[in-house]
Chain A
Amino acid sequence: MDINPEDQTSYTAQYQEAFLKYVENEYCAEHRRVPVNKLETVPTSNLVPSATASGSYQSSFDPYDLSSDDEEYLTPNDVVETTPGPSDRAARLLTAARLYLNSPPEAPKNWGQINPNLNDYHSDQMEISSTFWIPDITDWWRQQEDTHSKYADLSNVARDIFSIIPHGFGVEASFSLGRDVIGWRQSKTTGETLREKVVVRQFARANNGVLAGTDPELDTMNTENDSEMKKEVEERKLHGMAKVHDFLEMWQGSQNLRVTQKESRAQNKQMTAVGYISDTEEIVKSSWSLFQHDGAAAFKLSEGSPLPPALSAKDLPGGQTHILNVRRIRRINRHPVESDKDSAPESISDTEGWLNWNGDLDNPNDSEDDCAADDDSDIEHNNCIEDPECPEQQDVSAAPNVPRLVRPTRKSKRQAEKVLVTVNAVETRRNKGGKKK
């Protein structure tokens, strides 16, 4: 191709001249080398006038004869020199090429094979859309060949050239490799990183998908990786062995514990056989004589008393309180109005008897010292109110704290009850005296 960029002539003219030279060199020269049989061997019936050969001579030849090197196929034995001479064919081919170049481009609307709905081919030639690829030029050249038009010879050239596949899967994959390496969301990846990734991929493809990390020969870090892998495997084994060791140790411990329990069980049986204290035997063998208690006397006291026996016992620590109560009742009985000595012991009602259930313990002739002692005990009893451990104090303190409210204390309540009992006894006595009178 003799294209001179510095030439002032247009590139179109230069390309056209280059195309004509290409056709002349590649096809006309080949055409001149085609052997031609002698005219004597050719039957008369096969003779075709040269004038009409321009349109029909290719019917006996393969259309690829101009570009193929198969001399035998191009020159069958039964074919005579019915076609025009090589020089004529070459000249006709060049003439057709020049005519084709000088003719204006074909309009798709003038071509009957084109779809009328796709006539917008020239409406926007800049737009690359689905209509950009239409019409199909192969159909146009095929039509020229079938109709034996003036471009019939040139259609062979077009068939040869358009059969070349300019692109393949590798080229498409190369253009798509960038998108495969970097996704839509990897906008911060630099061009250098992209280049390195592409180089690595191309290297892997060149090595049948083997990268340096998977190929031991290409991996320079192979020894270090092997040592690290061995260490990891060793650690895993040791970890597993440690677990087994722990399990065995635990199992041995449980076995030892079981043996120890068996031994201790046998020892316990021996100790029981020697004389172990049993709760049942203790109950059977126990007797009342072992207790340091008055026992029967206490039960006798409780039989004559409506109160629980524990309260009627002499050794109760709080017995003095009951004595104090009896003494106060005696004092009430010694009221001047009710100073009837004869009827006094007999006039004690059942209620008073209940109050004097321990009257035998109280002596009406007690001295003043005894009364003072009783008062002391009473004081002690009153002090018990202030004792935080006394439950009665808690009951009193539980009352609502109302200002200026005179709350009854336990002592006042007791006195009020005693007065009430005394009044009842006096009224009963009066009633009896009135009946006697």
Chain B
Amino acid sequence: MSKRHTVTLHHVITVYNDMFEHMDGVMRALSRKKTPWKEDLFFAVKLARQKLSKYYAEVTPTTGMLLISVHILDPFRKL
């Protein structure tokens, strides 16, 4: 994102959503695995999702309507 020369603010929530969906998919795939390293990976992804949820919950109260507005103003995604 830091290499972009254009507006990237409207990608914040999109990136968050993509990361949540990716973690959910990994956790679904690893939920029934019994291999030690897969269990460890499942546990690590679970902790990462908790950490990301903590940050995501503070996005809207901190930034107010900024991220929501830019996401709405993205003509290719909107809401």
Contacts and interface: CB of A to CB of B under 8 A. Distances in A.
Interface of A: 1, 3, 12, 15-16, 18-19, 22, 100-101, 104-108, 121, 126, 128, 132-133, 135-138, 140-141, 154, 157-158, 161-162, 164-167, 172
A106 B73 CA distance: 11
B75 A166 contact: no
B75 A105 contact: yes
Interface string B49-79: 0000000000010011111111111111111
A19 B70 contact: no
A126 B6 CA distance: 20
B78 A101 contact: yes
B6 A106 contact: no
A167 B2 CA distance: 8
A157 B73 contact: yes
A162 B76 CA distance: 15
A12 B79 contact: yes
A15 B9 contact: no
B15 A128 contact: yes
A52 B22 CA distance: 50
Contacts of B71: 15
Contacts of A1: 60, 64-65, 68
A6 to B, nearest CB: 15
| Most chain B CB atoms below 10 A, which of A107, A133, A135 | A133
Given A108-B76, A158-B73, A128 B6 contact: no
B9 A166 contact: yes
Contacts of A108: 76
Nearest to B21: A126
Given A19-B65, A126-B18, A138 B6 contact: yes
Contact of A16 (B2, B76, B77, B79): B79
The 8 closest A-B pairs by CB, nearest first: A106-B75, A12-B79, A162-B7, A158-B73, A136-B6, A166-B9, A105-B78, A22-B65
Nearest to B10: A137
20 contacts: A1-B64, A1-B65, A3-B60, A15-B68, A15-B71, A15-B79, A19-B69, A101-B78, A105-B78, A128-B18, A132-B11, A137-B7, A137-B73, A137-B75, A138-B6, A157-B73, A158-B73, A164-B9, A166-B63, A167-B8
A161 B63 CA distance: 12
A8 B74 CA distance: 25
A126 B22 contact: yes
A138 B7 contact: yes
A1 B12 CA distance: 19
Contacts of A138: 6-7
A161 B69 contact: yes
B22 to A, nearest CB: 7
B70 A16 contact: no
Contacts of B63: 166
B59 to A, nearest CB: 10
Contacts of B60: 1, 3
A155 to B, nearest CB: 9
Interface in B1-49: 1-2, 4, 6-12, 15, 18, 21-22
B65 A105 contact: no
Contacts of A104: 78
Contacts of B9: 161-162, 164-166
